[in-house]
Structure 1
Amino acid sequence: MAKSAIDKDLKRVDQLKAATRDSSRAMAAPGLALIFLLATLTWAIFTASGSPLSYLVMIATVIAAYMALNIGANDVANNMGPAVGARALTMGGALAIAAICEAGGALLAGGDVVSTISRSIITPETTLGTTAFIMIMMAALLSSALWVNLATLLGAPVSTTHSVVGGVVGSGIAAAGFGAIIWPTMGKIAASWVISPVLGGVMAAALLALVNATILFKPNKVDAARIWVPVLVALMSGVFAMYMAMKGLKRVWSFEPHEVLFLGLVLAGVGWALTIPWVRGRTGRMENTNKQVGTLFRVPLIFATALLSFAHGANDVANAVGPLAAIVAAVGNGAAISDGAVTLPIWVLAIGALGIALGLALFGPRLIRTVGEQITKLNEIRGYCVALAAAITVLIASALGLPVSSTHIAIGAVFGVGFLREGFSNRGIRNKAVSPEGVFLKTSHLNKTPEEAVSNFQKRQRRYLVRRQHAFSIGAAWVITVPASALLSAALYFAMSALFGF
């Protein structure tokens, strides 16, 4: 009895410490973010001098830094959430790994040249002056940053790419009218709202069903794990080798399709060969339980999380600094960028990398908890399925030319494993609904008493293992991201044009 009371007191102390730590971070984070923004402004002042429009570069630099902070706060949660929710990583460990991998991906594989997002949205026939082009980019960048910031405060993971796209659409319409927009591109983006989460959810559910059938539902789980865990790690190794070749390293090294496939097969074989002795050593005295077998997926999940973060840093840093690079090039050339490709100065790339890492460390934990803990309960196996499903889905979609969002895929994968787990948990319970008084509303077991029906209904209610309200709130945030950022961007374009007298 005394021990139980002590345990409760210690738990309260731990909760108090956690609350104090979160409160301290909440108070310190805005100040540190402001210091970072001021530092980027100072750097831009010394770097961007020498042109009549250099003051616009200074302003755009601060906006890009602000956008990078928001990308780190919101987008990175999709990669880190499953590992934290599965308890494979602590929050501190996840933040450290993500910060290093995101910054490393941005700096090492971010590339020397980026394609401005306006190239695929604004028609080539549209004639834009230098100042109009700069205003479009600045308004798009600021509106997307503000929208992502609001979504983070509301606890909704959204696509930063879609936010930037919406920003360019809004400011592009404000500058040149509706005819300036390539509307088929917007149709593809709208299609991705459905395609991305569905593909991610189906793939993650299929992977979890495979693990269940080959390992978890077997009488001797340990023996099954000795056979199938190396196979699953080989699959992961091959998939991530191809994923890194196609997505993570595409800006610094262009692979041919046959080279990507060969690399995947080679790394799959290496992963399988290295995992066999490791699994045998870990399973020597392992208990025949799902929990014990699940520990074999912890290390693969951590590696998958790190690789996803590296690829994300390499790809999505352009969302933060691509418009800034376009503005720097336009100011330097004295003309709008018409070919869609601009050089990415190292100082611009560094701002994006540092901003993403800092935004993750300061503001990321809230969204990480939402993705990893508040949608459905994750463990090492489910987290592994989510991470692997995200990579496989992106590869398949890229090969088929389907428009997808990595953010939507990752969230869809979390829902996918949750709904599959819920389906397995509810097998055998057929009653649909019973009133509190025991009156049947609909049932397939007419021979059950009202008391038994009520009991089954209550059991079914307890087995809703996915929080539906998150599906609706996140889905709503996805749908309104493009129009919300577009409207905000249009308003900002007019305000900036009036402010600067253009």
Structure 2
Amino acid sequence: MSDHSNQDVRHLETLDRDLGRLSSLEQATSFAARPIIGGGIALVFIALAALVAALFFGQTSNGFIVVIAAAFGAYMALNIGANDVANNMGPAVGAGALSMAGAIAIAAIFESAGALLAGGDVVKTIAKGIIDPTALGDTATFIWAMMAALLAAALWVNLATWVGAPVSTTHSVVGGVMGAGIAAAGFGAVSWGTMGTIAASWVISPVLGGLIAAGFLWFIKARIVYQDDKIAAARKWVPVLVGIMAGAFASYLAIKGLKKIVKIDLQTALLIGAAAAVAVWALTIPVIKRQSEGLENRNKSLKVLFGVPLVVSAALLSFAHGANDVANAVGPLAAIVQASGTGDFLAAVSIPLWVMLIGAFGISFGLFLFGPKLIRMVGNQITKLNPMRAYCVALSAAITVIIASWLGLPVSSTHIAVGGVFGVGFFREWYTERRIKQARRALPDRQQFSREERRRRKLVRRSHFMTIAAAWVITVPAAALLSGIIFMLLNTLT
């Protein structure tokens, strides 16, 4: 080869290396710029929310207060989208039934629909049920208390999202209202009975969600996965499971999502659910039969049959979540708007449409800009999910809410969904350990599976379990402490 040719080769190699470095630099710049772009868009949305408030209330005596409150409400809504929505979409993404982009699109549509069509019913509890408004004395104190609660809850959820812990935004707002109430009027202003039931839900929600999810996974394994003819078993039982899902969600939506349109008691909701279960079961039988034709008799084939029901369940959960949890963003904001406009902070709170839009769009923007981190955490990093396991989590969430409503217990959708993921993971650990022990008894060399090997086979990441449990326990007191400090600062400044 000539010297000229050698130089050409070296020149091309150098060019390739330089292009490689440029490509890496572009990727690194894109990765680094992503949070900056997201933060910039979030700031623009917060500014737009403040501008909308200024258009409606800029000329009133308390216009500046409403503008600031609207900005805080938009900030809270962004954080709900970034943190809470991951619990509905995480299992479907982790199971591979939905792409990240598909999950974000579906959640944004159904969260907004739930918020605008059926949202707002729980604002009364957020604004008035945790503290006694009469103990606060005057309208100004009530407004500053709600302002402090809103900002404190948003800051706490933002911190939890940053460390990768899915927390209850409901409990964050509850803690914020409680802390501001204590700072304003002492411990006597707090409804400790309500706080006691909320504290009980810290344990009840995840445990109940985990047990129900584990129970359904056991049923699927026993009746379908470990049957000789898996496809025949699936044709029999998948329509039953889909029918149960339809019934559970029909009852769930009747109880939680449609109160604004029509008030339905628990018995009526259960009857609606039963009718929906039977109808969907009958309709699903031919669909599953046709879908299962030509499938091989193995576990991978079963995942196909659970894919569509899982996507539908995630969408329905998002609708119900938007209907219920949008009040966490706009409840204190609605109370501030009403108290600022009328001077009456004791009347029932109603939500103006523009306030509801801030909550609905804020949740969607927060999910789009910052949601993928928590979606990956819930979907991939706690334990490995497939469509069957994720389906058990979604089904558990709907059934747990129905049971809690029957028992009169306040529960957190975050705690239920994440508890369901942990329940599925711990059940798989127990089930795997049991099968290992059976295998050891059948082997002549019982040392084949050592303690180190069993430790390596743990299917739930303990570090995430401890981080999430700690975040749940300290959410209310942390938000309360932060809110109390903010209230005292606002009171001092004004």
**TM-score in terms of structure 2 length:** 0.91
CA-to-partner distance for each residue in 1:101-130, whole Å, 9 max, x for gaps?
Answer: 111111111148831514221136524211
Preserved contact between residue 244 and residue 311 of structure 1 (Cα < 8 Å): yes
1:429 shift after superposition: 3.9
> Which shifted more, 362-371 or 246-255?
246-255
Q: 1:379 aligns with which of 377, 386, 389?
A: 386
Number of residue equivalences: 470
Q: 1:422 aligns with which of 409, 429, 432?
A: 429
Pair 16,372 (structure 1): closer, same or farther in 2 beyond 3 Å: farther
1:51 shift after superposition: 2.3
1:403 shift after superposition: 2.8
Preserved contact between residue 179 and residue 482 of structure 2 (Cα < 8 Å): yes
**Aligned AA (1:342):** V
1:50 shift after superposition: 3.3
Pair 172,22 (structure 1): closer, same or farther in 2 beyond 3 Å: same
Partner of 1:411 in structure 2?
A: 418
Mapping 1:184-333, distance limit 5 Å:
184-333=193-342
Preserved contact between residue 136 and residue 142 of structure 2 (Cα < 8 Å): no
Preserved contact between residue 25 and residue 362 of structure 1 (Cα < 8 Å): no
Partner of 1:157 in structure 2?
A: 166
Secondary structure of the residue aligned to 2:253 is: helix
Preserved contact between residue 120 and residue 324 of structure 2 (Cα < 8 Å): no
Partner of 1:471 in structure 2?
A: 465
Give the distance between the partners of 1:55 and 1:415, measured in 2 at CA. 45
Pairing 1:31–2:40 present? yes
Give the distance between the partners of 1:86 and 1:370, measured in 2 at CA. 12
Task: Please identify runs of 4+ aligned residues in structure 1 that moved more than 6 A.
Answer: 14-21
Pair 182,487 (structure 1): closer, same or farther in 2 beyond 3 Å: same
Q: 1:456 aligns with which of 441, 450, 457?
A: 450
**Aligned AA (1:369):** R
**Aligned AA (2:259):** K
1:161 shift after superposition: 0.6
Structure with greater helix share of residues = 2
Pair 228,315 (structure 1): closer, same or farther in 2 beyond 3 Å: same
**Aligned AA (2:195):** M
Pair 99,241 (structure 1): closer, same or farther in 2 beyond 3 Å: same
Pairing 1:481–2:488 present? no
Give the distance between the partners of 1:414 and 1:290, measured in 2 at CA. 20
Give the distance between the partners of 1:28 and 1:224, measured in 2 at CA. 50
Superposition CA RMSD, Å: 2.1
Partner of 2:408 in structure 1?
A: 401
Give the distance between the partners of 1:262 and 1:157, measured in 2 at CA. 33
Preserved contact between residue 129 and residue 335 of structure 1 (Cα < 8 Å): no
Pairing 1:343–2:350 present? yes
**Consecutive unaligned residues in structure 2, runs of 5 or more:** 1-22
Give the distance between the partners of 2:68 and 2:316, measured in 1 at CA. 33
Pairing 1:121–2:126 present? no
Give the distance between the partners of 2:427 and 2:124, measured in 1 at CA. 39
Pair 233,28 (structure 1): closer, same or farther in 2 beyond 3 Å: same
Secondary structure of the residue aligned to 1:126 is: helix
**Aligned AA (2:98):** L
Pair 19,248 (structure 1): closer, same or farther in 2 beyond 3 Å: farther
Partner of 1:441 in structure 2?
A: none
Give the distance between the partners of 1:15 and 1:406, measured in 2 at CA. 41
Give the distance between the partners of 2:56 and 2:271, measured in 1 at CA. 44
Preserved contact between residue 112 and residue 344 of structure 1 (Cα < 8 Å): no
- Percent identical pairs in the alignment equals 58
Give the distance between the partners of 1:419 and 1:256, measured in 2 at CA. 35
Pair 287,120 (structure 1): closer, same or farther in 2 beyond 3 Å: same
**Aligned AA (2:421):** V
**Aligned AA (2:275):** V
Preserved contact between residue 113 and residue 343 of structure 1 (Cα < 8 Å): no
**TM-score in terms of structure 1 length:** 0.90
Partner of 1:11 in structure 2?
A: none
Give the distance between the partners of 2:456 and 2:229, measured in 1 at CA. 29
Give the distance between the partners of 1:175 and 1:33, measured in 2 at CA. 31
Secondary structure of the residue aligned to 1:342 is: coil
**Aligned AA (2:56):** T
Pair 83,221 (structure 1): closer, same or farther in 2 beyond 3 Å: same
Preserved contact between residue 136 and residue 181 of structure 2 (Cα < 8 Å): no
**Consecutive unaligned residues in structure 1, runs of 5 or more:** 1-13, 432-443
Give the distance between the partners of 1:284 and 1:20, measured in 2 at CA. 49
Pair 287,392 (structure 1): closer, same or farther in 2 beyond 3 Å: same
Q: 2:142 aligns with which of 120, 123, 133?
A: 133
Q: 1:95 aligns with which of 68, 90, 104?
A: 104
Give the distance between the partners of 2:172 and 2:275, measured in 1 at CA. 38
Pairing 1:490–2:484 present? yes
Give the distance between the partners of 1:377 and 1:18, measured in 2 at CA. 28
Secondary structure of the residue aligned to 1:222 is: helix
Partner of 1:66 in structure 2?
A: 75
1:217 shift after superposition: 1.1
Preserved contact between residue 243 and residue 277 of structure 2 (Cα < 8 Å): yes
Secondary structure of the residue aligned to 1:63 is: helix
CA-to-partner distance for each residue in 1:420-445, whole Å, 9 max, x for gaps?
Answer: 111121124459xxxxxxxxxxxx98
Secondary structure of the residue aligned to 2:349 is: strand
Pair 380,22 (structure 1): closer, same or farther in 2 beyond 3 Å: farther
